[in-house]
Amino acid sequence: MRRAPRTTARVRAHGRLLASAAALGAVLVGCAADADGGTTPAGSAPSSASPSAPPSAPVVDMAPTPTPDGTLLVADFGFDTVTFVDPRRGAIASVEVGTAPYGLAVGADGRAWVATAEGVAVVDTRTRTRLALVPYETDSGPVGTGEYRGGGMGIALSPDGRRAYVGVNVPGGNGTLEVIDTASRQVTATVPVGRRPFDVDVARDGSEVYATDHDSFDVTVVRADTLTPRRIEVAPYGTEGGLGSWLKPHYAVVRPSDGRLLLPFEGERLVVVDPRTGRSEIEPMTADTHQHGAAITPDGTLFVVGTGPIDPAEDEGPSLTVRAPDGTERIYPLDGPHEDVAVSEDGRTAYVSGGFTRDGHWDGITVIDLPSGETRRLPAGERPLGIAVL
Protein backbone atom coordinates (compact mmCIF):
# COMPACT_ATOMS: atom_id res chain seq x y z
CA MET A 1 0.00 0.00 0.00
CA ARG A 2 1.38 3.41 -0.94
CA ARG A 3 2.17 5.85 1.83
CA ALA A 4 0.35 9.17 2.07
CA PRO A 5 1.83 12.11 0.11
CA ARG A 6 4.80 13.50 2.01
CA THR A 7 4.17 17.23 2.02
CA THR A 8 6.65 17.93 4.79
CA ALA A 9 9.28 15.54 3.48
CA ARG A 10 8.96 16.91 -0.05
CA VAL A 11 9.41 20.50 1.06
CA ARG A 12 12.29 19.55 3.38
CA ALA A 13 14.07 17.72 0.56
CA HIS A 14 13.52 20.73 -1.65
CA GLY A 15 14.93 22.95 1.11
CA ARG A 16 18.03 20.78 1.41
CA LEU A 17 18.68 21.16 -2.32
CA LEU A 18 18.32 24.93 -2.14
CA ALA A 19 20.67 25.10 0.83
CA SER A 20 23.26 23.00 -0.99
CA ALA A 21 22.99 25.20 -4.06
CA ALA A 22 23.40 28.32 -1.95
CA ALA A 23 26.53 26.87 -0.38
CA LEU A 24 27.97 26.42 -3.85
CA GLY A 25 27.03 29.93 -4.85
CA ALA A 26 24.74 28.68 -7.59
CA VAL A 27 21.80 30.65 -8.85
CA LEU A 28 18.92 28.29 -9.63
CA VAL A 29 16.04 28.85 -11.97
CA GLY A 30 14.16 25.59 -11.48
CA CYS A 31 17.25 23.36 -11.26
CA ALA A 32 21.06 23.57 -11.33
CA ALA A 33 22.33 24.96 -14.63
CA ASP A 34 24.43 22.76 -16.89
CA ALA A 35 26.95 23.84 -19.49
CA ASP A 36 24.45 24.61 -22.24
CA GLY A 37 21.89 26.33 -20.08
CA GLY A 38 20.05 23.11 -19.21
CA THR A 39 20.02 21.54 -15.76
CA THR A 40 20.90 18.44 -13.84
CA PRO A 41 18.15 16.78 -11.77
CA ALA A 42 19.09 15.51 -8.34
CA GLY A 43 20.46 12.01 -8.53
CA SER A 44 20.42 11.77 -12.33
CA ALA A 45 23.14 9.99 -14.23
CA PRO A 46 25.28 12.03 -16.61
CA SER A 47 23.82 12.36 -20.07
CA SER A 48 25.00 9.93 -22.71
CA ALA A 49 24.65 12.82 -25.15
CA SER A 50 27.11 15.46 -23.96
CA PRO A 51 25.83 19.03 -24.35
CA SER A 52 29.15 19.97 -25.94
CA ALA A 53 29.04 17.16 -28.50
CA PRO A 54 28.40 18.29 -32.09
CA PRO A 55 24.85 17.57 -33.25
CA SER A 56 24.35 14.80 -35.75
CA ALA A 57 23.47 15.61 -39.34
CA PRO A 58 19.79 15.73 -40.28
CA VAL A 59 18.25 12.66 -41.87
CA VAL A 60 18.19 13.16 -45.64
CA ASP A 61 14.78 12.50 -47.22
CA MET A 62 15.74 9.95 -49.88
CA ALA A 63 12.18 9.08 -50.94
CA PRO A 64 9.91 12.14 -50.83
CA THR A 65 6.62 10.26 -50.89
CA PRO A 66 3.62 11.55 -48.88
CA THR A 67 4.05 11.07 -45.12
CA PRO A 68 2.07 8.02 -43.95
CA ASP A 69 -0.58 8.36 -41.25
CA GLY A 70 0.75 7.39 -37.83
CA THR A 71 4.20 8.88 -38.46
CA LEU A 72 5.65 10.68 -35.45
CA LEU A 73 6.95 14.24 -35.55
CA VAL A 74 9.47 15.41 -32.94
CA ALA A 75 11.04 18.81 -32.24
CA ASP A 76 14.82 18.46 -32.07
CA PHE A 77 15.65 20.78 -29.18
CA GLY A 78 19.34 19.88 -29.50
CA PHE A 79 19.53 20.92 -33.14
CA ASP A 80 17.54 23.07 -35.59
CA THR A 81 15.22 20.49 -37.14
CA VAL A 82 12.07 18.49 -36.73
CA THR A 83 12.36 14.79 -37.44
CA PHE A 84 9.76 12.49 -38.99
CA VAL A 85 9.83 9.06 -37.37
CA ASP A 86 8.37 5.76 -38.51
CA PRO A 87 7.25 4.24 -35.16
CA ARG A 88 8.54 0.84 -36.25
CA ARG A 89 11.77 1.68 -38.09
CA GLY A 90 12.97 5.06 -36.82
CA ALA A 91 13.78 8.41 -38.42
CA ILE A 92 12.88 8.84 -42.09
CA ALA A 93 13.51 12.57 -42.68
CA SER A 94 14.45 15.85 -41.02
CA VAL A 95 13.40 19.39 -41.93
CA GLU A 96 15.29 22.50 -40.82
CA VAL A 97 12.99 24.81 -38.85
CA GLY A 98 15.12 27.12 -36.65
CA THR A 99 17.32 27.01 -33.57
CA ALA A 100 16.31 24.83 -30.61
CA PRO A 101 12.69 23.91 -31.48
CA TYR A 102 10.60 23.24 -28.37
CA GLY A 103 6.84 22.69 -28.68
CA LEU A 104 4.80 21.89 -31.78
CA ALA A 105 1.14 21.74 -32.78
CA VAL A 106 -0.34 20.05 -35.85
CA GLY A 107 -3.54 21.22 -37.54
CA ALA A 108 -6.18 19.29 -39.42
CA ASP A 109 -4.65 20.62 -42.64
CA GLY A 110 -1.43 18.74 -41.94
CA ARG A 111 0.62 21.83 -41.17
CA ALA A 112 2.81 21.83 -38.08
CA TRP A 113 3.54 25.01 -36.14
CA VAL A 114 6.88 24.71 -34.37
CA ALA A 115 8.09 27.09 -31.62
CA THR A 116 11.82 27.74 -32.07
CA ALA A 117 14.23 30.26 -30.59
CA GLU A 118 14.04 32.29 -33.83
CA GLY A 119 10.32 32.24 -34.62
CA VAL A 120 7.45 29.89 -35.37
CA ALA A 121 8.20 27.57 -38.28
CA VAL A 122 5.37 26.34 -40.49
CA VAL A 123 5.94 22.84 -41.88
CA ASP A 124 3.86 20.94 -44.41
CA THR A 125 3.98 17.49 -42.82
CA ARG A 126 2.64 15.76 -45.93
CA THR A 127 5.49 16.90 -48.18
CA ARG A 128 8.01 17.39 -45.36
CA THR A 129 8.94 20.95 -46.29
CA ARG A 130 9.20 24.21 -44.33
CA LEU A 131 6.81 26.82 -45.69
CA ALA A 132 7.66 29.83 -43.52
CA LEU A 133 9.30 31.15 -40.39
CA VAL A 134 7.18 33.71 -38.54
CA PRO A 135 9.41 36.01 -36.43
CA TYR A 136 8.35 37.03 -32.93
CA GLU A 137 7.23 40.53 -32.06
CA THR A 138 8.63 40.07 -28.54
CA ASP A 139 12.29 40.91 -27.96
CA SER A 140 13.52 37.74 -26.27
CA GLY A 141 17.23 38.50 -26.57
CA PRO A 142 19.92 36.81 -28.65
CA VAL A 143 19.06 33.49 -30.26
CA GLY A 144 20.38 30.73 -28.04
CA THR A 145 20.04 27.14 -26.94
CA GLY A 146 19.53 25.29 -23.66
CA GLU A 147 16.72 25.17 -21.13
CA TYR A 148 16.56 28.90 -20.47
CA ARG A 149 16.93 30.18 -24.02
CA GLY A 150 14.61 32.93 -25.15
CA GLY A 151 11.91 32.42 -27.77
CA GLY A 152 8.96 30.10 -28.22
CA MET A 153 8.08 27.33 -25.80
CA GLY A 154 4.49 26.06 -25.56
CA ILE A 155 2.28 26.37 -28.64
CA ALA A 156 -1.30 25.46 -29.56
CA LEU A 157 -3.83 25.98 -32.33
CA SER A 158 -7.38 27.27 -32.03
CA PRO A 159 -10.02 24.59 -32.75
CA ASP A 160 -10.82 26.15 -36.14
CA GLY A 161 -7.13 26.36 -37.05
CA ARG A 162 -7.29 30.09 -37.75
CA ARG A 163 -4.90 31.12 -34.96
CA ALA A 164 -1.73 29.78 -33.43
CA TYR A 165 -0.86 30.80 -29.87
CA VAL A 166 2.78 30.62 -28.77
CA GLY A 167 4.30 31.32 -25.37
CA VAL A 168 7.50 33.34 -25.72
CA ASN A 169 10.10 33.18 -22.98
CA VAL A 170 11.97 36.38 -22.14
CA PRO A 171 15.01 35.44 -20.02
CA GLY A 172 14.99 37.29 -16.72
CA GLY A 173 11.44 38.58 -17.02
CA ASN A 174 7.81 37.86 -17.82
CA GLY A 175 6.92 36.26 -21.13
CA THR A 176 4.26 36.94 -23.72
CA LEU A 177 1.58 35.04 -25.59
CA GLU A 178 1.81 35.85 -29.28
CA VAL A 179 -1.21 35.36 -31.54
CA ILE A 180 -0.50 34.34 -35.15
CA ASP A 181 -3.03 34.50 -37.97
CA THR A 182 -2.41 31.19 -39.71
CA ALA A 183 -3.65 32.42 -43.10
CA SER A 184 -1.40 35.48 -43.31
CA ARG A 185 1.34 33.98 -41.11
CA GLN A 186 1.63 37.24 -39.22
CA VAL A 187 1.68 38.02 -35.51
CA THR A 188 -1.52 39.98 -34.83
CA ALA A 189 -1.26 40.53 -31.05
CA THR A 190 0.94 40.03 -28.01
CA VAL A 191 -0.41 39.48 -24.50
CA PRO A 192 1.63 39.63 -21.26
CA VAL A 193 1.82 36.33 -19.35
CA GLY A 194 4.01 34.95 -16.56
CA ARG A 195 7.59 33.71 -16.53
CA ARG A 196 8.68 30.92 -18.89
CA PRO A 197 5.41 29.78 -20.52
CA PHE A 198 6.27 26.08 -20.70
CA ASP A 199 2.94 25.06 -22.16
CA VAL A 200 -0.02 26.59 -24.02
CA ASP A 201 -3.50 25.05 -24.26
CA VAL A 202 -6.82 26.18 -25.71
CA ALA A 203 -10.36 25.66 -24.42
CA ARG A 204 -12.39 23.14 -26.41
CA ASP A 205 -14.64 25.89 -27.76
CA GLY A 206 -11.71 28.19 -28.46
CA SER A 207 -12.96 30.88 -26.08
CA GLU A 208 -9.87 30.93 -23.84
CA VAL A 209 -6.15 30.27 -24.05
CA TYR A 210 -4.10 28.99 -21.12
CA ALA A 211 -0.37 29.67 -20.68
CA THR A 212 1.29 27.57 -17.98
CA ASP A 213 3.93 29.87 -16.51
CA HIS A 214 6.59 27.72 -14.91
CA ASP A 215 8.65 30.30 -13.04
CA SER A 216 5.76 32.38 -11.69
CA PHE A 217 3.72 29.47 -10.30
CA ASP A 218 0.62 30.31 -12.31
CA VAL A 219 -1.59 29.86 -15.33
CA THR A 220 -2.49 32.94 -17.35
CA VAL A 221 -6.03 32.71 -18.74
CA VAL A 222 -6.47 34.82 -21.89
CA ARG A 223 -9.88 35.50 -23.44
CA ALA A 224 -9.63 34.80 -27.16
CA ASP A 225 -11.97 37.64 -28.16
CA THR A 226 -10.65 40.50 -26.02
CA LEU A 227 -7.18 39.08 -25.29
CA THR A 228 -7.67 40.08 -21.65
CA PRO A 229 -5.33 38.14 -19.33
CA ARG A 230 -5.90 37.09 -15.74
CA ARG A 231 -3.65 35.08 -13.46
CA ILE A 232 -4.49 31.93 -11.46
CA GLU A 233 -1.85 30.82 -8.99
CA VAL A 234 -1.15 27.08 -9.14
CA ALA A 235 1.21 26.21 -6.29
CA PRO A 236 0.08 23.15 -4.31
CA TYR A 237 3.39 23.13 -2.39
CA GLY A 238 3.53 26.90 -1.99
CA THR A 239 5.96 29.29 -3.64
CA GLU A 240 8.86 28.92 -1.21
CA GLY A 241 12.16 29.00 -3.05
CA GLY A 242 10.92 31.28 -5.82
CA LEU A 243 12.87 30.86 -9.03
CA GLY A 244 14.94 28.10 -7.45
CA SER A 245 11.95 25.90 -6.66
CA TRP A 246 11.46 22.51 -8.29
CA LEU A 247 7.79 22.45 -7.27
CA LYS A 248 6.38 24.55 -10.09
CA PRO A 249 3.83 23.87 -12.86
CA HIS A 250 5.15 22.50 -16.13
CA TYR A 251 2.43 21.22 -18.47
CA ALA A 252 -1.36 21.24 -18.41
CA VAL A 253 -4.19 19.59 -20.33
CA VAL A 254 -7.84 20.55 -20.79
CA ARG A 255 -10.22 17.85 -19.52
CA PRO A 256 -12.74 17.06 -22.29
CA SER A 257 -15.68 16.44 -19.96
CA ASP A 258 -15.81 19.84 -18.25
CA GLY A 259 -13.02 22.10 -19.57
CA ARG A 260 -11.06 22.08 -16.32
CA LEU A 261 -7.27 22.25 -16.40
CA LEU A 262 -5.28 19.32 -15.05
CA LEU A 263 -1.74 20.03 -13.80
CA PRO A 264 0.31 17.15 -12.34
CA PHE A 265 2.89 17.71 -9.60
CA GLU A 266 5.57 15.31 -8.36
CA GLY A 267 3.53 12.15 -8.91
CA GLU A 268 1.70 13.11 -5.74
CA ARG A 269 -0.85 15.79 -6.59
CA LEU A 270 -3.09 16.52 -9.53
CA VAL A 271 -4.33 20.11 -9.39
CA VAL A 272 -7.75 20.49 -11.05
CA VAL A 273 -8.37 24.14 -11.92
CA ASP A 274 -11.69 25.65 -12.92
CA PRO A 275 -10.51 28.44 -15.26
CA ARG A 276 -13.82 30.29 -14.94
CA THR A 277 -13.66 30.72 -11.16
CA GLY A 278 -9.94 30.21 -10.52
CA ARG A 279 -10.71 27.64 -7.83
CA SER A 280 -8.59 24.51 -7.52
CA GLU A 281 -9.02 21.04 -6.09
CA ILE A 282 -6.25 18.54 -5.44
CA GLU A 283 -6.48 14.82 -6.16
CA PRO A 284 -3.83 12.26 -5.15
CA MET A 285 -1.43 10.70 -7.65
CA THR A 286 0.77 7.65 -7.15
CA ALA A 287 3.98 7.79 -9.25
CA ASP A 288 5.99 9.78 -6.66
CA THR A 289 8.37 11.34 -9.20
CA HIS A 290 9.07 14.78 -10.68
CA GLN A 291 6.62 15.27 -13.57
CA HIS A 292 6.71 17.21 -16.83
CA GLY A 293 4.84 16.43 -20.08
CA ALA A 294 1.14 15.59 -20.21
CA ALA A 295 -1.46 14.57 -22.78
CA ILE A 296 -5.12 13.59 -22.63
CA THR A 297 -7.25 11.46 -24.95
CA PRO A 298 -10.86 12.22 -25.92
CA ASP A 299 -12.19 9.77 -23.32
CA GLY A 300 -10.40 11.68 -20.54
CA THR A 301 -7.45 9.30 -19.99
CA LEU A 302 -4.49 11.34 -18.73
CA PHE A 303 -0.86 10.56 -19.59
CA VAL A 304 1.92 12.16 -17.51
CA VAL A 305 5.69 11.84 -17.93
CA GLY A 306 7.75 11.35 -14.77
CA THR A 307 11.30 12.59 -15.27
CA GLY A 308 12.90 11.13 -12.15
CA PRO A 309 13.41 11.92 -8.47
CA ILE A 310 14.11 15.25 -6.83
CA ASP A 311 15.56 13.32 -3.89
CA PRO A 312 16.70 9.77 -4.80
CA ALA A 313 16.43 8.75 -1.15
CA GLU A 314 12.72 9.58 -1.10
CA ASP A 315 11.33 9.53 -4.64
CA GLU A 316 10.79 7.05 -7.44
CA GLY A 317 12.45 6.96 -10.85
CA PRO A 318 11.22 8.01 -14.32
CA SER A 319 7.86 6.68 -15.42
CA LEU A 320 4.73 7.22 -17.46
CA THR A 321 1.48 7.51 -15.50
CA VAL A 322 -1.72 6.51 -17.28
CA ARG A 323 -4.67 7.79 -15.25
CA ALA A 324 -8.21 6.67 -16.07
CA PRO A 325 -11.12 9.12 -15.76
CA ASP A 326 -12.09 7.46 -12.44
CA GLY A 327 -8.66 8.29 -10.98
CA THR A 328 -7.12 4.81 -11.07
CA GLU A 329 -3.53 4.80 -12.31
CA ARG A 330 -1.11 2.44 -13.96
CA ILE A 331 2.59 3.30 -13.77
CA TYR A 332 4.99 2.27 -16.55
CA PRO A 333 8.68 2.52 -15.54
CA LEU A 334 10.99 4.30 -17.98
CA ASP A 335 14.73 4.00 -18.50
CA GLY A 336 16.10 7.50 -17.86
CA PRO A 337 14.54 10.97 -18.06
CA HIS A 338 11.95 11.85 -20.71
CA GLU A 339 9.96 15.01 -21.45
CA ASP A 340 6.68 14.77 -23.38
CA VAL A 341 4.17 12.20 -24.59
CA ALA A 342 1.81 11.52 -27.49
CA VAL A 343 -0.68 8.68 -27.91
CA SER A 344 -1.68 6.65 -30.97
CA GLU A 345 -5.15 7.18 -32.43
CA ASP A 346 -6.35 3.81 -31.11
CA GLY A 347 -5.06 4.62 -27.61
CA ARG A 348 -2.97 1.45 -27.38
CA THR A 349 0.53 2.94 -27.79
CA ALA A 350 2.28 5.82 -26.03
CA TYR A 351 5.34 7.58 -27.44
CA VAL A 352 7.52 9.37 -24.88
CA SER A 353 10.23 11.77 -26.06
CA GLY A 354 13.66 11.35 -24.53
CA GLY A 355 14.96 14.88 -25.01
CA PHE A 356 14.21 16.34 -21.56
CA THR A 357 14.64 20.05 -20.82
CA ARG A 358 17.42 19.33 -18.34
CA ASP A 359 20.57 17.22 -18.48
CA GLY A 360 20.17 13.47 -18.77
CA HIS A 361 18.46 13.53 -22.14
CA TRP A 362 18.94 10.99 -24.93
CA ASP A 363 18.23 11.05 -28.65
CA GLY A 364 15.14 8.94 -29.08
CA ILE A 365 11.63 7.88 -28.13
CA THR A 366 10.35 5.17 -25.79
CA VAL A 367 7.48 3.26 -27.37
CA ILE A 368 5.10 1.69 -24.84
CA ASP A 369 2.54 -0.97 -25.71
CA LEU A 370 -0.05 -0.01 -23.11
CA PRO A 371 -2.01 -3.28 -22.81
CA SER A 372 1.11 -5.43 -22.27
CA GLY A 373 3.42 -2.84 -20.70
CA GLU A 374 6.23 -3.78 -23.09
CA THR A 375 8.62 -0.96 -23.97
CA ARG A 376 11.27 -0.42 -26.62
CA ARG A 377 13.65 2.41 -27.38
CA LEU A 378 13.62 3.97 -30.81
CA PRO A 379 16.53 6.23 -31.86
CA ALA A 380 14.99 9.41 -33.24
CA GLY A 381 15.85 13.08 -33.50
CA GLU A 382 18.32 15.19 -31.53
CA ARG A 383 17.20 15.72 -27.93
CA PRO A 384 13.51 15.47 -28.96
CA LEU A 385 11.01 17.42 -26.83
CA GLY A 386 7.66 18.19 -28.47
CA ILE A 387 6.04 15.16 -30.09
CA ALA A 388 2.91 14.52 -32.15
CA VAL A 389 1.30 11.64 -34.04
CA LEU A 390 0.46 12.59 -37.64
Q: Over the stretch 9-25, which tens digit does the pLDDT of each residue have?
A: 455 455 544 444 333 33
CA-closest candidate to residue 201, choices 103, 100, 285: 103
Give the pLDDT confidence score for residue 44 in this predicted structure: 32
Residues of the chain with pLDDT under 70: 1-58, 60-64
CA-closest candidate to residue 201, choices 240, 143, 135, 255: 255
Give the pLDDT confidence score for residue 50 in this predicted structure: 35
Give the pLDDT confidence score for residue 16 in this predicted structure: 44
Give the pLDDT confidence score for residue 33 in this predicted structure: 34
Give the pLDDT confidence score for residue 180 in this predicted structure: 98
Considering the entire predicted model, what is its pTM?
Answer: 0.88
Going along the chain from its start, the domains and CATH numbers come out as 7-53+70-389 (2.130.10.10)
Q: Over the stretch 78-112, which tens digit does the pLDDT of each residue have?
A: 999 999 999 999 999 999 999 999 999 999 999 99
